[in-house]
């Protein structure tokens, strides 16, 4: 399977799983909230021959368009840490951007 298609499939799977997000203070639960947008950004980035500007732009769009309810759910979860993998970086930037926008607690 191509990496872009794999990331798109993971985005769809996490979007479906978001209905099952539990209010546990667990960074893995936050992936149910952040994962669909982060993996969609990764899929578009990979489709665009790995241009990180594409993924960063998608994350910026998601931050700009997040709603209060989603930010409220994220506020119940611990903040993500960054890492070396690109998906971890996208998840971190999305988490951090939403927290900054809504001034959420870490």
Count up the domains in the chain and report the number.
1
Answer yes or no: is pLDDT of 1 > 70: no
Answer yes or no: is pLDDT of 32 > 80: yes
Cα–Cα distance, 94 to 72 (Å, whole number): 14
Name the one residue in this structure whose structure tokens are 């700009």: 64
pLDDT of residue 17: 77
Banded pLDDT at 27 (limits 50, 70, 90): confident
Banded pLDDT at 12 (limits 50, 70, 90): confident
Residues 77-95 pLDDT 10s: 999 999 999 999 999 999 9
Q: Which domain holds residue 64?
A: 3-102
Banded pLDDT at 105 (limits 50, 70, 90): low
């Amino acid at each position: 399977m191509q990496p872009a298609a794999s990331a798109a499939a993971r985005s769809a799977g996490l979007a479906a799983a978001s209905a099952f997000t539990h209010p546990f203070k667990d960074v893995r639960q936050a992936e149910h909230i952040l994962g669909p947008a982060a993996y969609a950004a990764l899929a578009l980035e990979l489709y665009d021959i790995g241009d990180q500007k594409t993924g960063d732009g998608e994350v910026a769009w998601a931050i700009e368009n997040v709603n209060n309810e989603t930010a409220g759910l994220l506020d119940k979860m611990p903040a993500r840490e960054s890492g070396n993998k690109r998906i971890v970086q996208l998840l971190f930037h999305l988490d951090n951007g939403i927290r900054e926008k809504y001034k959420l607690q870490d």
